[in-house]
């Protein structure tokens, strides 16, 4: 090619620059199609994120009353999918009186009222006691006939409803937590997968909301009733939907054909845990499988490439299991469960190279990092807090994670540690050694006066910053700083009453938050 003239070169460069600008402008924004984002690690690649909040907080795009649950929202191709529990009869508005509500529902409830021997007085009391939450907590005798788990597809920019798919539910949490779904929707180009609190696994058409297939996993796999209901969001690996079912005797993990819903393989059960030592608790007897074990937990499976092979890491009720996602073959296991039955593993494993991190907030279980052997058959322990003993138990566990999954940046873990509200700590910890680099007290008492603390929070990493949603409804921005906690902005969202346990989501520089009563969208773009 001949060497171009100087003016010609300028024109070429000018045109190339213009084309580059157009390509950049047309580049699609990151979606948030599954639990914890595109890669399942709480990280967004979007740039141009706010460094500080305007007076009165970040610009609110929309706010919408929703039903109860802990399910995080998911976004794909302009569609925002929310999974929640609602009454199919009536939703309370701010100005509604109990008498008005009863008048509205009298006709529809007449037969049920007579059957269940309910009075207007009992209905009025139920409505009055729960008005502020935006929905009615019906007496159990009525709720079992009225409540549904609903999948709502909304316009991500406006919050307007596109379609709804709903089915009846009778789930009642045995410990008094809300009865809504816990698992986030999983979105592909044309499908939406949900996993309800009672184990209903659904595949819907993302465009229309029509059901493609359905599995009742509790019925199909003989699942014992779990503490807190179903809480492990499935993941996709090729055409397999890997799901922590917790069934008996060999269906702790099940792979379904994502197109048809048919069972492909079952794994993890009696043959894995029977007569195994409870590692970490010396002197305890070997485990006897009795047939009533709770295999499922609330951490979602994580799939990563280790030593050139795909590996599924499943933090179950008994501990960590590494398996082949194509076949369900178990590579290795590591016992990791607190002694008490009232314990869960809810924080997802974190895989960096050939090492995996796990943490729990229950009864000093703490955290560990394992280095995986090249043939995937076992591991060596890099560090474990079970071997540490200090005067300050909060530092003994290093980082005890209840439900959140940490951010990993430049070899450090950023996370909120603590089992309960008075235990809340915001920490930065080295992945390689478990050394605490900084520690900030975020404890609060939910029964006490209003607080300016985050409690235990959830994180999104974007544009060199941490977006924080505390369980108290406090929204903040922190710098990614391993030397000290650096808060750049903070705003207490009035509509978000605690507990705010659903993980936030982000798409097109919009941040989506939900509580037990509200779904909210805030603009985090510096400019538009």
Per-residue pLDDT at 140: 64
φ and ψ of 20, to 5 deg: -60, -40
- What does 497-519 look like in DSSP terms, one character per residue? PSP--SPPEEETTEEEEE-SSEE
Per-residue pLDDT at 528: 87
Length of the chain: 528
φ and ψ of 305, to 5 deg: -95, 120
Distances (CA, A) of 376 to 88, 109, 317, 452: 50, 59, 22, 46
Per-residue pLDDT at 453: 94
CB 196 within 8 A of CB 183: yes
- Give the other-Cβ count within 10 Å of 25's Cβ: 7
Rounded Cα–Cα distance for residues 390 and 324 (Å) = 38
CATH class of 48-63+346-528: mainly beta
- What does 31-67 look like in DSSP terms, one character per residue? -B-STTTTTTSSB-----B-SSPPTTSSPEEEEEE--
| Token pair of 169 as six digits | 């539910």
pLDDT less than 50: residues of the chain: 1-4, 12-28, 393-395
187 strand-pairing partners: 192
Question: pTM of the entire structure?
Answer: 0.86
Per-residue pLDDT at 191: 98
Distances (CA, A) of 487 to 47, 50, 408, 466, 500: 19, 13, 18, 9, 20
Nearest to 89 by CA among 154, 160, 168: 168
Nearest to 306 by CA among 362, 396, 373, 250: 373
Tokens 């910890």, located at residue: 429
CB 281 within 8 A of CB 268: no
**Which parts of 226-289 fold into alpha helices (H)?**
270-273
Per-residue pLDDT at 398: 82
In the chain, where are the structural domains located?
Answer: 48-63+346-528
Rounded Cα–Cα distance for residues 389 and 339 (Å) = 18
Per-residue pLDDT at 496: 92
Per-residue pLDDT at 21: 38
461-487 b/e (C-beta count within 10 Å ≥ 16 → b):
bbbebbbbbbbbbbbbbbebbeeebee
Q: How far is CA 365 from the centre of its chain?
A: 21
């Amino acid at each position: 090619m001949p060497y171009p003239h100087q003016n010609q070169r300028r024109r070429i460069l000018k045109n190339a620059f213009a084309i580059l600008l157009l390509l950049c402008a047309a580049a699609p924004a990151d979606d948030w199609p599954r639990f914890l984002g595109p890669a399942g690690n709480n990280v967004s690649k979007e740039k141009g994120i706010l460094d500080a909040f305007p007076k009165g907080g970040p610009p609110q795009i929309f706010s919408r009353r929703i039903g109860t649950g802990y399910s995080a929202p998911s976004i794909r191709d302009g569609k925002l999918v929310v999974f929640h529990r609602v009454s199919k009869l009536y939703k309370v508005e701010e100005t509604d009186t109990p008498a008005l509500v009863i008048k509205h529902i009298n006709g529809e409830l007449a037969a049920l009222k007579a059957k269940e021997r309910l009075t207007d007085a009992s209905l009025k009391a139920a409505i009055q006691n729960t008005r502020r939450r935006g929905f009615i907590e019906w007496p159990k005798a009525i709720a079992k006939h009225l409540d549904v788990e609903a999948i709502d597809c909304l316009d991500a920019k406006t919050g307007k409803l596109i379609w709804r798919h709903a089915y009846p539910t009778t789930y009642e949490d045995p410990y008094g937590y809300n009865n809504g779904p816990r698992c986030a929707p999983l979105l592909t180009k044309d499908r939406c997968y949900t996993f309800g609190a009672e184990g209903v696994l659904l595949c819907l058409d993302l465009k229309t909301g029509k059901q493609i297939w359905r599995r009742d996993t509790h019925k199909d796999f003989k699942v014992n009733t779990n503490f807190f209901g179903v809480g492990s969001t499935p993941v996709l690996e090729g055409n397999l939907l890997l799901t922590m079912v917790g069934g008996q005797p060999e269906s702790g993990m099940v792979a379904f054909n994502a197109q048809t819903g048919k069972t492909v393989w079952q794994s993890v059960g009696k043959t894995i845990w029977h007569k195994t030592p409870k590692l970490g608790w010396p002197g305890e007897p070997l485990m006897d499988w009795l047939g009533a074990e709770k295999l499922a937990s609330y951490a979602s499976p994580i799939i990563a490439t280790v030593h050139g092979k795909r590996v599924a890491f499943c933090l179950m009720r008994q501990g960590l299991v590494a398996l082949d996602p194509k076949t369900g073959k178990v590579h290795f296991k590591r016992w990791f469960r607190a002694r008490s039955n009232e314990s869960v593993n809810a924080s997802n494993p974190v895989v960096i190279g050939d090492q995996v991190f796990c943490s729990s907030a229950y009864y000093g279980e703490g955290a560990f990092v394992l280095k995986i052997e090249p043939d995937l058959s076992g591991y060596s322990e890099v560090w474990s807090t079970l071997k540490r003993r200090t005067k300050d138990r909060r530092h003994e566990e290093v980082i005890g994670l209840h439900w959140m999954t940490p951010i990993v940046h430049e070899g450090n873990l950023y996370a909120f540690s603590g089992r309960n509200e008075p235990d809340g700590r915001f920490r930065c910890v080295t992945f390689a050694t478990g050394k605490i680099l900084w520690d900030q007290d975020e404890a609060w008492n939910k029964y006490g006066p209003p607080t300016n603390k985050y409690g235990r929070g959830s994180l999104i990493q974007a544009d060199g910053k941490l977006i924080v949603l505390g369980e108290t409804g406090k929204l903040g921005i922190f710098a990614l700083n391993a030397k000290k906690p650096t808060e750049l902005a903070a705003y207490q969202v009035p509509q978000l009453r605690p507990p705010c346990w659903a993980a936030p989501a982000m798409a097109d520089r919009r941040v989506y938050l939900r509580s037990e009563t509200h779904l909210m969208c805030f603009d985090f773009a510096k400019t538009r």
